[in-house]
Amino acid sequence: MRKLSGKIDGQEYAVLIGQNMDSERKHYFEEFSDRILFSSPKLPPAEIQRLKVEFGNKNVVLTDDGESCKSLANYSLLINELLGRGFPRNGMMSYSGGGTLGDLVGFVSSTYKRGTRFSAIPTTLLAQVDSSIGGKNGLNVASFKNSIGTFHLPEAIFCDSAFLSKGVMRDGLSEVIKYGMINDPKILDSLRGHRWDDILDDPDLILSLVERSVRTKMAIVEKDFRDTKGVRAQLNFGHTVGHALESVSGNSLSHGQAVCTGMIIESRMSELEEISERGTASSLVGIFGDLGIDVPDVSAYSLDSMVNFVLNDKKLSAGEIRIPVPVRPGFMASLSLTPERFKKILSKAIGG
């Protein structure tokens, strides 16, 4: 097991990365006489059973996850569950599931009785390398994604590869590759020669990918926890165009597919503006191709709808849309374009 320790705003936290960390979790959670675990019912039954042994049967509540769980209705449901149990403020609240359940339970934990202690057992690759790290949470209100949320840091995050299965790998790999592009090119090297669906067969590789990704995210978040200094913005590489693609596709593209395509398109845009080195976008196409991950063809989506989405989604800076882009893997810069120029370059990048 590897332990990464961090400190933000005076609060210490730890990320534990390993395989089969049952005894570590049991030992940690036993300390809290009042504890509750909200778990996804979609985990394999054997995993849910293991968690019930670790937490105590009565402390495990199965609750629906997926994007639709990030709602005010579900928020009320969980708050009522806690009130019904008389759950105290100094109790430990945790979740086992993907990023959607983490966002919901994180928000509940930060607001119930003005904030309880919080910890995480992320069970998708995306949740292990991204959403569980950094203390952001959020709910979708009136169909606006993450329109309300808080910063609430988990004290302990258990990234246990025993929970990962092929079905929860692909979306997370886009984020892993993103970390390789923004900070740690060794991630990209270590993926060479692997297909996405054989990564779990190599326990050392999966642990190293999670650890390197988590280290990058922790380092960035610790410099800019509340996302006010522009440092955390680097993590949005691929996400400006990616979020627009998710939206205009009516969510038929998964987050991972959208981010993978978004990184390629944004790199092409940046090459056209002579910020990214030539070949940056095609090297990304090569990485996804070698992994056996299809890059969706998005040329049929409406350009106007995409640009409108970006304009609604992002604050303009001095009248320009600003997006983080890699000059080369491991070295980031920023691309600033007026909305008109953005549309023109986006059109070329998608066509090319």
Does 37 engage in binding with ligand NAD (CB under 6 A)? no
Does 259 engage in binding with ligand NAD (CB under 6 A)? no
Find the binder of ligand NAD among 38, 112, 163, 179 (CB under 6 A): 163
Does 279 engage in binding with ligand NAD (CB under 6 A)? no
Residue placing its CB nearer to ligand NAD in the complex, 97 or 326: 97
Q: Which amino acid is at 99?
A: G
Does 184 engage in binding with ligand NAD (CB under 6 A)? no
Residue placing its CB nearer to ligand NAD in the complex, 168 or 191: 168
Does 117 engage in binding with ligand NAD (CB under 6 A)? no
Sign of CA dihedral 266, 268, 273, 276: positive
- Minimum CB separation from ligand NAD for residue 201, in Å? 17
- Minimum CB separation from ligand NAD for residue 163, in Å? 4
Residue placing its CB nearer to ligand NAD in the complex, 102 or 326: 102
> Could you tell me if residue 252 is left (phi over 0), alpha (psi between -120 and 50 degrees) or otherwise beta?
alpha
| Residue span binding ligand NAD (CB under 6 A) among the ranges 162-170, 196-204, 271-279, 344-352 | 162-170
Among 270, 266, 342, which Cα is nearest to 298's?
266
Does 99 engage in binding with ligand NAD (CB under 6 A)? yes
- Minimum CB separation from ligand NAD for residue 273, in Å? 27
Find the binder of ligand NAD among 6, 21, 130, 215 (CB under 6 A): 130
Does 43 engage in binding with ligand NAD (CB under 6 A)? yes
Write out the H or E segment, with its range, that includes residue 179: helix 170-182
Does 123 engage in binding with ligand NAD (CB under 6 A)? yes
Does 127 engage in binding with ligand NAD (CB under 6 A)? yes
> Could you tell me if residue 193 is left (phi over 0), alpha (psi between -120 and 50 degrees) or otherwise beta?
left
Check: CB of residue 156 under 8 Å from CB of residue 14.
Answer: yes
Sign of CA dihedral 23, 28, 30, 31: positive
Residue placing its CB nearer to ligand NAD in the complex, 2 or 42: 42
Range 180-209 burial, b when 16+ CB lie within 10 A, else e: bbbbbbebbebbeebebeebbeeeeebbbb
Does 6 engage in binding with ligand NAD (CB under 6 A)? no
Does 220 engage in binding with ligand NAD (CB under 6 A)? no
Concatenate the DSSP letters of all residues of 78-125 into one string.
HHHHHHHHT--TTSEEEEEE-HHHHHHHHHHHHHGGG--EEEEEE-SH
Check: CB of residue 341 under 8 Å from CB of residue 347.
Answer: no
Does 45 engage in binding with ligand NAD (CB under 6 A)? no
Report residue 186 as tokens: 């060794």
Concatenate the DSSP letters of all residues of 189-216 into one string.
HHHTT--GGGGGG-HHHHHHHHHHHHHH
| Residue span binding ligand NAD (CB under 6 A) among the ranges 24-32, 66-74, 192-200, 280-288 | 66-74
CA distance 1 to 155: 17
Residue placing its CB nearer to ligand NAD in the complex, 29 or 163: 163
CA distance 249 to 302: 10
- Minimum CB separation from ligand NAD for residue 41, in Å? 8
Residue placing its CB nearer to ligand NAD in the complex, 91 or 99: 99
Find the binder of ligand NAD among 22, 34, 67, 222 (CB under 6 A): 67
Site residues (CB under 6 A) for ligand NAD? 40, 42-43, 65-67, 70, 97-101, 103, 123-124, 126-127, 130-131, 134, 136-137, 146, 163, 165, 167-168, 171, 255
